Amino acid sequence: MRYLQSIGIDIWRFRTPDSYGYFRYDLFDHQNRQAGILLADAILRNKIEAQLVEKIARATRKQIRGGFRFGCFESSNEFGKCAIFLGSQVSEFFMCTLKKSTTIIRSYSPADLLRNGKLKVQIWNDLKVAIQLMNA
């Protein structure tokens, strides 16, 4: 504690999954079965970031349900064939909650994409792989 004060940090808190904000979209096929899940870092927490994540979810051409979440991950028995992680924070928090049979696709966070438009091609390529897995 003294170390933090010596470097000018008077107030600090430990970040737990309970205080973590993220985007979650469940992706369903035409028969309303879960085909996959999309989890994304919520770094900026603004309307532009939220719209971007929703557009990415819609680009999968699946029925989507979800949006911004705050707190613990709501686990379910079924995640589908594929989990799409956009950002490193969601990867760290949620990696251990998924079944081993679920294929994980990792890509850049929405905030990274908003900062650097050149990442759009890489994210789209990663998304195409996820779409193929969900359609298989």
Q: Kindly state the helix (H) or strand (E) to which residue 130 belongs, with its residue range.
A: helix 120-135
For residue 4, tell me if it sits in a domain.
no
Find out whether 37 and 25 touch, Cβ atoms under 8 Å. yes
Instruction: Provide the pLDDT for residue 109.
Output: 95
Question: What long-range pairs does 64-69 form, CB within 8 A, spacing at least 24?
Answer: 64/25, 64/26, 64/27, 64/28, 64/38, 65/25, 65/26, 65/28, 66/23, 66/24, 66/25, 66/26, 66/38, 67/23, 67/24, 67/25, 68/21, 68/22, 68/23, 68/42, 69/21, 69/22, 69/23, 69/24
Instruction: Provide the pLDDT for residue 122.
Output: 95
Lowest mean pLDDT among 9-18, 22-31, 47-56: 9-18
The domain of 80 spans 14-135
pLDDT band at 102 (very low <50, low <70, confident <90, very high): confident
pLDDT of residue 84 exceeding 80: yes
For residue 5, tell me if it sits in a domain.
no
Domain count, the chain: 1
For residue 25, tell me if it sits in a domain.
yes
For residue 71, tell me if it sits in a domain.
yes
pTM recorded for the entire structure: 0.82
How far are the Cα atoms of 27, 59, 115 from residue 35, in angstroms, in the given order? 6, 14, 30
Strand pairing category for 34-41 and 21-28 = antiparallel
For residue 115, tell me if it sits in a domain.
yes
